Every structure is written in structure tokens, then in C-alpha cells.
Structure 1
């Protein structure tokens, strides 16, 4: 780095003759500095006009106003504070529109104020003595990028230069802060209201319903007698409709079905399938299969598990009816309901021909003493069902288990938990294609899971219906994780479910698979034979893993059990009143948030940034005016005319002498032609300079210049 004296030596002095000529030129028309300087208006008044930029944005015509009045926002930040917490209005939207325009103009306005301020500061520093590096930094830092480049490339690092860099950073931040400081937000009022759901997880309620012996209770569709004759058609219609809903094609099929991706794509992907399956056909809320959710941890059964957005395994195709939980208008509600469902733990498939041969006592309900009659015809020989299912179900004949589950009990006095589990038998005839066939069976232990379900409901508009879905689920605290008392512990339900389950979706054509059988084989085949459906042995499932089979069978079994509920309730036809309902309905509390008019919200962080930027901008404008009042030197640092002062190679004679500012000097010399060329063409070593001698030779790459 050159010392002060070395730096002074870098300035080439003019010759004596040139200096005399320059002195004579300066004395041609000597004037006082005051006479040569621009007027006070041009020196101070014009910079003062920049004060209007940070002070106000004025004038916006409202075309919708019938009087054609003009609205003005003198201080936008004050209007922003005023609108905080107020309802959305045309006036507020106009203010936000102006803020958006202001954010676009902010970088331009910021540069229009800060740039001249830095030039004024450079002139003030030069008049009082300054380093060339600082003057260069002040004069060239006219944009944010130029300032940052000067800091990095030219390494003008000091407290002042870093401070100027920080101020320039307020240029982009200030514009964003203005537009982000105020935004509308949906407003809502929250209060707690009554809601009801159908058949919760109290064991006493479960026993009471499935036993069906209390006056005034809802009748189950499989209770027998004249009630069953009247209600069985409603139950069957619900089951058939449930196994005909589109989402069944991907139920328990994710990752286990060849056609899952293709079918899911037709529904909008996994997310679309997830949304489609949240509710049943009658808008009842489906319960997620807790044990199959990705976030479930067996060691933490009472932790809430979120229900994912994509395809979810559901415990039943029939959902839980919910009533209430909202008032008139758009809004959201949340509540917690209780539910229960049956789970199965199945073993491997085995040859169980000896279980169904004449004389076997391993089945509880199918009478093998009736010889060679097909199993599905052995119940009700006087009035056989014309349908021809390919599977059958039964209960393992265990006197201990049947006694413990008290399938013949009456009344509510005995509700103790059995110590053993009922075992379900599922099977059908399988052929090897060589004329040989066998009964292939599976045994499945039946358990009951008690679940609490977090439900979220939304109504988008006053005329829209309330849309509810399960948002989270967990095991009910205080209930068995895998209870032995089940819905089919009741002989009233079990004795008829054994025969109804295979028949309800069966075909009347021998060997044709039913909807339930196709669902157990592969859900995408539920509506027909897609891919490799059960075309030969519709009652056999050799290619279905035990995990997939027991999950699908659980859903099918729960669907049939829940379809025995009051069909009028399941279809939502019992009315909306919450009063006068029987024990099947249970109260819960819903947190209802009703949407009201949007309100404006002030972002305090962005508002503080906008205010800081405005104050800094105003301070720069004031500083520009104040510093201008103390400057006496002519301003020739911000113009090319400064290069023509005192140069022996610029032959101009402007009026006013050296006290003339660059703007006034430019008026005199604007038509003078100049050129960068070799001003010493006759010397062996040339010299490059800006000169008015435009006839001098051009620069040459091979010539040496001093």
C-alpha cells in the first residue's frame, strides 16, 4: 500500500506552460463562490423534496364510490395499525392494495433517497478531507448489490461502510415488510356444544344391545322372531351396498394387491382413496383399524395415533352415526367418541376335511350327522336358501369356551370377562383340478378392541352438510386391549350370524364367488374378475397371507355385525333432534368453532421491520438536507464534468470558474467532444488521457504508455 507521499507522487503535474495557461483561464472571469454556487433552492430545496417519499403515499381514486371521492393514505403504517383486529372491509382491502404497490416501489424509492444521501456525504467528506477509498465507496454504492460488491471485492471494511451495507439491506426487506405486515385471517368463535354417537364401548351397553332383551331398545336385525323378519332386509341392503362402494377396491389392499396402484390412480392416488374412505355411504364416520396404522406401538396402547391422509385400513365398511356437534353456519368441530370392533388372529390354512365328515363334533353349529348334504343347506332344511356360498363359518366346539361366554345367558347380571377366546372356523372346498377335493380351513381367535376416536368435522358453508372423519385413535383407557367378550359372545347374534354371513352376498349360481369371497381374495376383484380372481376355487385362498386374510375377514365380519344396528339410524333417517333418544345414543362434547367475517391481523415483526425501514429512510432524507446546508464546495464528484476540471488535455473555458457545480458546468460543455486516446503521439512512450483533441491517434495494443 502506497504511503501518503507516494500517493501524491502518482498525480502527474502539468507543465509550466500548461499551468500558466490554466491559471489564465481561471482568471478570465473570476467570481465569488457564492455567485458561482447554485441557488439555495437547487442546493437544499430539491433534496428536500425527497422527504415526501417516506412521509406519504397520496391519492387513490375509488371507482366504486358514487360520489367519485378520492381516498388518500397519508401514513400507511398508521392505517395498518388502525386495521389490526378489525373486520375485513373494502377500505382495508384498499389499504392492502396500496401496500402491495408500495412494496413494489419501495426499492426504487429507497435508492432515490439513499443514493443522493451517500453522494452528499461524499462531497461533505471531500470538502473536509477524506481518503480516496471512502469517497469511491460512497460514490459507487448506489444499489444494494453494488454496496455488497464493494464490501466483498474492494474490501472497504469499516464501521461506516458496514453500516451503509446494513442500511442498503433494508431496501428489499422494507418492501416485503410493508406487504406482509397486514393480512386477513379467518375469524372464529369457539364454544362447546352437545353431540351424540351410537353405541359406545361400555361393556354394559354392548351386552345390553347384543342380548336384546330390554323394552324400548333398538332391535337388532338378527334377534329372531317377527323382528328379524321385518329388519333382515334392511341389514342385507346395508351389507350389499357397503360391499358395492368404490373404496372397497382398495380396502386392505395397499401393498398386497397387484391392481392397487391402478385402482388407486382412478380415485386420485392414495390421498384420494384416503379421503374417499373416511365415511361410509351414509356419511357415518368409519373407525380406523388401530393395530394396522403405521404409528401404532403395542407397548404404548393409550397414546394417540394420527390417522394418515392416504389409504387407511378401516375396521368396518359401516361407520359410527354421529349427531349434533355443530350449529348453523360454516365452521369446524372436534370431539372424541368411543367404539369397539372385533379383531381376528388366524392360524395357517390346513386340511380340515375330518372336521366336516359325518360324526365329527368339532363344529358347534353345523350338524355333521346329516350326512352328505352341503353345509350351507343344513340349516333350515324346510326352507333352504337358494344362494350358493363357497365358504362357511362356525365356532370351534369347546364346551368350556361356550360356557364361559354364556351364549344362553339372559339379563345383564353377568358381565364378567371370559378367560378364553372364541375361535372362528372359516373354510371351503378346494379342488386340485384332478377330481380330488378337500375342505381347507382356518381357525381365528376373536377379540374385542375398545377404541377412542378423535373426530374432526367441517362445514364449508351454511348450505353444506357437516363432513366428519377420524383424525386420531387410541385404545380406550380402562378397557382390555384385546378383550375376550365379543359381539358374538351372545348366542342371540351368533346363532344367526353363522348362517347369514356366507349367504348375504352369495350368488345363486353354483361355483360363482360372492362379493365377500372376492374381497377376501383380493379387494380390487370385489366388483368382478380383475386380474387373477378366484375363478376355480372361490372358497379357497392359498395365495393370501395370514395377515392379509385376517385383516380383510375382520373388516367383513365387523361390517356384517354393525349392519345389524338400527337401519334407520345407520341411513340417517331418524331425525336430527338430540332429545328423546334411547340408551344406544351417548353424549359427548364437541368444540365448535364457527367461522365469522375475516379480520385483519398485524404481523408485529414485519411491521417493526417496515417502521424501521421507514424511519431510516426518513433519517437519510433529513440528513441529506441537513448536510447540504453545510457544504460550500461545488458538487463535481457526481458527474463526468469533474474529469474536465484542471486537466491540461481538456481545452474548455466554462463560465464561472472553479466554483461552478458539475450541473452548471455541464450546461456549458455538454456539446464539447472528448475522446480517450494517446495525447503524446510524438513521444516514444505515449500517454492515455481524456482529451478534447479528438484527432489524436487511436490506442495501440503494441505501443508502450506511461
Structure 2
């Protein structure tokens, strides 16, 4: 029977074991044997010597990274070796340029792998050294394994020391090296200037009186261009040539400097007049000057010498009380006394092939004058122009056989000029296969002859030949009074010279400057083509070995004058070349060498480090650490711990140096309870 005993302090009565056991079994779960936690067996002591296979494998990886880093420096030196070479397809330089496009992707990844590993290797090596490492330096290294943390770590720890500056400088090489690998080599367009001897024609060359010119070929004689056909072709293309720098054969036209001098300002003492403005340029002739031996690549710049006949007509007037052209055969032309004074030019060359529409006369030079060209310059030759314009029909519709007569008296002089010209690459080697642009023009500072000497003075009867061509450009219109002569129409209606009609009498339809220029353009065109028609119409032969000599003597007027000239041009060619930027090359080489040295240093430090690789890992907390004397707040962040104890020295070493078997742990050096790890010693 159960006994019940009351305790003095009101405790429950004692229940015997049998009763408690029976009661406990009522409604209780079945009993299971208690499971005890298994304990891991204690690892056997081991040395810190790593297997050679593992060491070699890691060293090989480090050496490969070092070699890759060094390759970027080799790449930069290779780029320097091809600096200035042509960027031809398939060339080494072009291949390197293509390689540089991928370098900015590879370099920062490679640099980060090397620098990050080096930071950890430095920390691991320093913490096992006999002097240990401060907490601040360890955090600087371990916290700088990426480029962003390299900056933030120094700021957060507020450790602005040499180590921090070195780490920041090291990581700055990553973006710099990346950009350097891209910018060290590129393809640029380079200009080169070479001298080149060019051939042209002296427009002061003697006139040849030839209507039809032929030449021998392998199959016989062929007819070449004649003076009238070339001039008529140019008249038909007057509208096309209005603002063109070249004629229809590609010859370079000489600007008429007289009008430019009236409207432009010359460049100081040099006298150059700029032609690059928007104002249209007027030219002295419908036909230009051929230039040969132009470069087939690049632009050829040169100064083109030239000369042309200039007209100065102080009077262009109506002839009163005259309805037909004068008969100069029976009554030679005479100058107006009120304009010419006592000048006795009474011998004339007359061109009457275009009567009854127009005629012209040029005064002859008095070669018997003993003082000519010796004590005085020759007087300017005179030109007289006379043209008719038919009067309208009368009130009954009958044609009136009367005309309005215009009269002009002009001085003939020569203007010598120099023109700066640039021609682009010529497909044919001469100006006919190129596009040429004049940049500036000036009067020749040293003209070869006085301006009153003209090409008419070079050979006998040149005046008659020129006037004959001028008045017989259209022989079928000779003696016609109905169909207007194109040469006459050109003075008042230049864009419809052929097939058009003149717009009125010359004296009141055309202003003086236009009359002077238009008539001079026709005369100069005749004079130019008269030098040698094939030369000015696309068949320039520059192979004459005697070209470039000046033999003209105004007294003897020798016929062996050579009209070919040599001039010097500058050929500016642009071509793609490989360019190596030396500044970026220096950055790339420095970045490559630093990465290479970091990889080698990391490999060496890794070989010298005996302690296990636990820095930067949470596994370091599982060691038997003996870090004492560092009292702080458990609420501090890692940066605050480091800032407060950045000078505390730690060592990852043997915390049981006196024992037979050592034990590795992290400890402070203040109490001297940690020893340096040793190779060959066993550690638990």
C-alpha cells in the first residue's frame, strides 16, 4: 500500500519508482534508445610541405598568366616595329590593328586575376613572417583584390600610406593598360609631298599659220585638229565653259586678272589674289593650257606661268552717218585723232572675211625703227573693230538695207601671270584626265618681256593670219547679211553664239569690260591653238627633250623658239599607314611589365609560404586562434575593428611551439605565444 507523506515546504509526495513507471507508461510514446552524436576522428598530424605535383601545377598557372601579361608588351613592341608601314590588306600592321580590337576585353580580366592573386599572396607571406603583419596592412591587401575595393578599402580604413598608394597605382594600370592595348596601334591617313617635274606649254609661243594639219602614222597620213574647228567647238560650249576652270579638253584656263584687280584685294607685297571665294572667275581664253606628267595618285600643286593678249578699248561708239562697213581695201582704217593724238600707225593688217557683218584691223610694227626696244619700249599695237547690226523693217514690212555701225579702238598688250593650281590624281597623266582648281593668281613679278611685246611680234604675218581666222571661222556665212556670224553674236549673246542671234548693236548692248574680255577670249583661243593645235586639243606630247628653252629675240624673231616648258610641282599623296602611338605604347609596356612582375612575385611568394591558404576565408575562424588583448565592441564593423587595431601585429603560426606536435593558429605577437612555422615539423 502506498504511503503518503507530506513535506514540510509543500512539495509533492514521493512516488516510488514502480508507481511512477506505471503511470508514465500510460498513454506515452514508445521508448527509443538515445542517439549519441558521432565524434570525428582526430586528423593525423602532418607537415606543411606541399606535394610537388600541386606546387608545379600552381606554378605553371602563374607562369602562364605571367607570359600572357608579357605578350601585351610584345604586342606593343611589334606595333612599334610596323609604325609607318602601308596599311595594305593582309599586312602585318592591319592584322595587329584587328587584334587590338579584342585586347581591351582580355587585358582587364587578365590583370585582375594577377593583381588579385598577388594581393592575397603578399598577405599570406607577410602574416607567417617572423615579424608578422599589422592588422591594417593585412586588411589593405585582402580588401584590394578587385579594382573597386582597392579604392574603397583605402577610404574606409583611412590608411593613406605608401602601401595604399601603391595598391591604388597598381590597379589604375588595369584601365590604362586596357585603353593602351586598343589605342597603341591604328590606321591613319598620311600626307607625303614629293617633287615632280611637269610639262606645260608657253602660251607666248609663236603662231603657226596652218589651216589643215596632218601627221604620219603607220597606216599613212591622218588629219588633225585645225584652228577654226577648235575655236568653233569652244564657242559652241561657251555656256558650259562659263564657270569652269578647264576647257572641254581639260586644259587649265588662265584667269583674267584685270577684272579681279578691280574687285579684289591682293595679298600684300606678294600680289596674290585669292580665288577661293564664291565670286565667279572670268578667264582670258576659251581654251586653256595643257599640263602633262601629273601624278596618277594624290594631288599635284604647281604654279602655272602663262600669258595672254589683253584688250583695252577706251572707246566703243556708234559711227554716225554710216550704214555700211568701211571699205578698208581702198580706204585703210585710221585712228581717232582725239584719242590717239599724233600716233602714226598707218599700216594695217585687215580681216574682212566676215563682211558685211564685222571686220577688224591690227596695226603693224615698224621694224625699221632703230630705237625700237633699245631706248624705249615699243608702243602698244592697235586694234580697230567695226560691226553692223541690221535696222528693223519699215512700217510697211519691207527690209531696210541699212545697219547700225559700231566702232571700237583698242590697245593690244600682253599680260604675264602666275596661277596657283591644284590638280587631283590624273587617270591619263595630264590635265585632260584630271580636275584642276586655281587657288590664286598674280601678275608675274618678273615678266620675261615688256607688256607691249605680244605674240604678234614673234613671226611675220601673224596679224594677218589671226584676223583671217577670226573673220573666217564660218566660211559658209561669208557675205551673208541675214544669218548672223557666231563670233559677232558671242559679243552680245555668248551663251547662244552658234545658232543664236545678237541682241543689238555692240556699242550699246555690251559694256566695255565684257566687250574687251569676249573679243580677247576669241583672239587668245586662236593664238593658243595656233601654237600647235594637237597640243591644245588633247594630244599633248611632252617627250620633247629640248623643251623648256627660251630663245625668243624680238629683233631676230627666231623660228626655233621652243614652246615647251618645265615646271616643278608638289605631289601631295594621302595613303593609309600604320600608326603607333608612343605615349600609349609606354603605358602598355609599363602595364604589361607590372602585371608580369606581379605574376612572378606572386608565384615566388606562393612557393615561400608554408602556412595553409586560409586568409580571406571564414575557415580561419575555426583555427585555434589566440588573439588576446584586443578588447573592442561586438557591435563594431570590420572596418571599425581594423581602424582601432590597425597597428596590432598578428602572425599565423605555431601557437604550441613547445609541444612535440605543433598547432597552427592566429595569434598576436604581444604575448610571444606564437612561433614561426617550420618545414618538416608536424602540426595537428
Q: Is the 8 A contact 1:47 1:624 kept in 2?
A: yes
Q: Which residue is 2:377 aligned to? A: 417
Q: Which residue is 2:239 aligned to? A: 249
Q: Which residue is 1:110 aligned to? A: 107
Q: Which residue is 2:23 aligned to? A: none
Residue 116 (structure 1) shift: 2.9
1:344 and 2:311 are equivalent in the alignment: yes
1:237 and 2:204 are equivalent in the alignment: no
Q: 2:561 aligns with which of 545, 569, 584?
A: 584
Q: 2:598 aligns with which of 623, 628, 631?
A: 623
Residue 422 (structure 1) shift: 3.6
Secondary structure at 2:175 match in 1: helix
Distance 1:633 1:426 in 2: 117
Secondary structure at 1:339 match in 2: strand
Deviations 1:8-57 (A, max 9, x none): xxxxxxxxxxxxxxxxx9x9999999799996568665344222334449
Residue 173 (structure 1) shift: 3.5
Distance 2:291 2:96 in 1: 46
Deviations 1:202-258 (A, max 9, x none): xxxx6xx46xxxxxxx54669xxxxxxxx999321221123244xx324345xxxxx
Residue 353 (structure 1) shift: 3.1
Matches within 5 A, 1:96-495: 96-120=93-117, 123=120, 129-130=135-136, 138=144, 141=147, 161=168, 164-165=171-172, 168-180=175-187, 197-199=200-202, 201=204, 209=206, 218-219=208-209, 234-245=226-237, 248-253=238-243, 273-274=244-245, 277=246, 281=249, 284-291=251-258, 297-298=265-266, 300=268, 303=271, 313-320=282-289, 338-345=305-312, 352-354=318-320, 356=322, 389=357, 393=360, 407-409=365-367, 414-415=372-373, 416-418=376-378, 422=382, 425=385, 428-429=388-389, 438-439=404-405, 444-452=410-418, 473-479=441-447, 483-487=451-455, 492-495=461-464
Residue 559 (structure 1) shift: 1.0
Gaps of 5+ in 1: 1-24, 58-73, 211-217, 223-230, 254-272, 369-378, 396-401, 530-534, 646-654, 660-706
Secondary structure at 1:354 match in 2: coil
Q: Is the 8 A contact 2:201 2:289 kept in 1?
A: yes
Q: Is the 8 A contact 1:251 1:312 kept in 2?
A: no
Secondary structure at 1:51 match in 2: helix
Q: 2:520 aligns with which of 541, 554, 558?
A: 554
Give the structure-1-normalised TM-score. 0.53
Query: Could you say if the C-alpha distance between residues 298 and 495 of structure 1 is closer, same or farther in structure 2, counting changes exceeding 3 Å?
Result: farther
Query: Could you say if the C-alpha distance between residues 134 and 354 of structure 1 is closer, same or farther in structure 2, counting changes exceeding 3 Å?
Result: farther
Aligned length: 516
Distance 1:196 1:189 in 2: 16
Distance 1:140 1:428 in 2: 97
Residue 106 (structure 1) shift: 1.2
Q: Which residue is 2:67 aligned to? A: 52
Residue 557 (structure 1) shift: 2.6
Distance 1:147 1:345 in 2: 85
Q: Is the 8 A contact 1:459 1:466 kept in 2?
A: no
Q: Is the 8 A contact 2:546 2:562 kept in 1?
A: no
Distance 1:588 1:234 in 2: 23
Residue 613 (structure 1) shift: 0.6
Residue 578 (structure 1) shift: 1.9
Q: Which residue is 2:35 aligned to? A: none
Distance 1:585 1:424 in 2: 31
Q: Is the 8 A contact 2:301 2:420 kept in 1?
A: yes
Residue 177 (structure 1) shift: 1.7
Give the structure-2-normalised TM-score. 0.55
Residue 136 (structure 1) shift: 11
Residue 421 (structure 1) shift: 6.7
Q: Which residue is 1:670 aligned to? A: none
Residue 606 (structure 1) shift: 1.6
Residue 484 (structure 1) shift: 3.3
Q: 1:614 aligns with which of 574, 589, 592?
A: 589
Residue 449 (structure 1) shift: 0.7
Between structures 1 and 2, the one with greater helix share: 1
Query: Could you say if the C-alpha distance between residues 176 and 86 of structure 1 is closer, same or farther in structure 2, counting changes exceeding 3 Å?
Result: closer
Secondary structure at 2:102 match in 1: helix
Q: 1:537 aligns with which of 503, 523, 538?
A: 503
Structure ID, larger Rg? 2
Distance 1:34 1:620 in 2: 29
Distance 2:284 2:191 in 1: 36
Distance 1:98 1:150 in 2: 41
Distance 1:462 1:567 in 2: 19
Distance 2:502 2:227 in 1: 30
Residue 293 (structure 1) shift: 6.3
Residue 443 (structure 1) shift: 5.5
Distance 1:88 1:124 in 2: 45
Residue 107 (structure 1) shift: 0.3
Distance 1:476 1:36 in 2: 92
Q: Is the 8 A contact 2:253 2:286 kept in 1?
A: yes
Gaps of 5+ in 2: 1-38, 125-133, 213-222, 336-347, 548-558, 624-684
Q: Is the 8 A contact 1:198 1:321 kept in 2?
A: yes
Q: Is the 8 A contact 1:335 1:588 kept in 2?
A: no
Q: Is the 8 A contact 1:315 1:554 kept in 2?
A: yes
Distance 1:284 1:107 in 2: 53
Query: Could you say if the C-alpha distance between residues 179 and 303 of structure 1 is closer, same or farther in structure 2, counting changes exceeding 3 Å?
Result: same
Distance 2:313 2:320 in 1: 19
Distance 2:615 2:42 in 1: 21
Distance 2:101 2:304 in 1: 52
Query: Could you say if the C-alpha distance between residues 480 and 439 of structure 1 is closer, same or farther in structure 2, counting changes exceeding 3 Å?
Result: farther
Distance 2:152 2:95 in 1: 33
Q: Which residue is 2:27 aligned to? A: none
Query: Could you say if the C-alpha distance between residues 123 and 553 of structure 1 is closer, same or farther in structure 2, counting changes exceeding 3 Å?
Result: farther
Distance 1:252 1:455 in 2: 18
Q: Is the 8 A contact 1:341 1:558 kept in 2?
A: yes
Secondary structure at 2:461 match in 1: helix
Distance 1:200 1:425 in 2: 24
1:567 and 2:533 are equivalent in the alignment: yes
1:504 and 2:494 are equivalent in the alignment: no
